[in-house]
Structure 1
């Protein structure tokens, strides 16, 4: 069979179109098989909420992922399909997202009658922290972190808007800023009350009030990492050294978009007692 340049070009385009589809289908199958393995091991329903940058189209444009209403719809549907007496395990890796979606997920987890466990292999910030607080048990990697849940209005922290209004005379403040300040006050109060409601069945009302205030008042920057030790110091029950190996394996199936020059490289083999494995 004779192929001219045009035929070869079309074959290349066809392969570039089909191969990513086949690769995506293969990695999806691997993820589901691993989720099933964890479910059989723990006798639970396992749900993953993992946000990483993903490549789209043939151009490989990276897009940022975050908690949205579509995520909450899927998770609520999964919880409805789970018997009330079956434990729930949520594998959580996210920078946060919409407050509405995060609150929906957190409330659904809180209302599930069987035990709910949240696994955080790397980080669960902002809305992810809110979801984690709804669990009966939070299991973090020793180096994983949660974060503050103080609301953000556009590009500005609500707490910073309120601070500006307190520092300047009202005659020198624009109407738009005053409107933002009113919204900020409501947002902080709403998040504070919701976080407190998540904690009331785990500790005393006084302790729940204190933690909710610390997390929502804007004490830290929004990306401040709250470690295992800090969580325990605050009074949030956290387990920091029993992460199942399968959770890390699952994270490997959510690769970042390939780059021409990788920023991190290592030999992907476990070492035993500091001795390199040779073959």
Structure 2
């Protein structure tokens, strides 16, 4: 074999390597998903968002829940018998309120049991979807987040605080427009949380659940642990099956640089000293 033939063979292998690696990863995911479905007798749906890297310039690109995601989840639900259990894996920072509310309402209306699994985090719109489930399973370090609406880059509750605390003569028209939108958004999200959680507005527990999640009592990135979620009355457990954590390992964070965290990817067991 000549040098040029070796060069072209090497070039072809290097060119095909990313595609082959992705095909192998997809096959591994399908095998693990199929094994979980057979074991649990359910349909497994994953909504996983990772920071991605643009192919040419290398800039990080964050992904969020969008309309494409809601359409895909709704299609998966339509292809599943209404009485068949659904296992929904969430790993997301949130996203569009419209898309998240569509998924949440579709889950809420299903007669079959829906269990949401949160291996690491499901914030904002991800939490809104989790509220619609019959059961939420979180790993010991996983978190949910508040679902209070955001107007642009600002919290709706914070915009209303400006209007409340500042003389109207000193407030510009744009802020007043945002405040009008904020009032509507808060009213809408309160009603949606009540609908999804069946919270009784006439009880202290029901009012507390809705207010703490939707009215800006926390910053929007406040981590709600499993213990806090249970205290709020949500159906949360920490019995995360190990197969779901193994499944998440098949959704690695794309990177073009040296990873910040490195370790030997195998389980370690402590050896008893004698």
Do these two structures clear the TM 0.5 threshold for a shared fold by scoring above it?
yes
Matches within 5 A, 1:27-46: 27-46=25-44
Q: Please report the TM-score for the alignment, with normalisation by the length of structure 2.
A: 0.92
Matches within 5 A, 1:166-205: 166-200=164-198, 204-205=200-201
Q: Superposition RMSD on alpha carbons, in Å?
A: 2.0
1:270 matched to 2:267? The reply is: yes
C-alpha distance in structure 2 between counterparts of 1:128 and 1:251, whole Å: 16
CA separation of 1:208 and 1:16: change in aligned 2, threshold 3 A: farther
Q: For residue 113 of structure 1, what is the aligned residue in structure 2?
A: 111
Q: For residue 231 of structure 2, what is the aligned residue in structure 1?
A: 233
Displacement of 1:258 = 3.3
Which of 237, 246, 250 is residue 253 of structure 1 equivalent to?
A: 250
C-alpha distance in structure 1 between counterparts of 2:206 and 2:233, whole Å: 9
C-alpha distance in structure 2 between counterparts of 1:2 and 1:157, whole Å: 66
Q: Please report the TM-score for the alignment, with normalisation by the length of structure 1.
A: 0.90
Unaligned stretches of 5+ residues in structure 1: none
Deviates more, 1:151-160 or 1:52-61: 52-61
Number of positions where the alignment pairs a residue of Structure 1 with one of Structure 2 = 270
SS of residue paired to 1:185: helix
CA contact (8 A) 1:62 1:257 kept: no
- Alpha-carbon displacement from aligned partner over 1:119-173 (angstroms, at most 9, x marks no partner): 0011100000000000000000011110000111111111111111111111111
Q: For residue 91 of structure 2, what is the aligned residue in structure 1?
A: 93
Displacement of 1:14 = 4.4
CA contact (8 A) 1:119 1:140 kept: yes
1:104 matched to 2:83? The reply is: no
Q: For residue 162 of structure 2, what is the aligned residue in structure 1?
A: 164
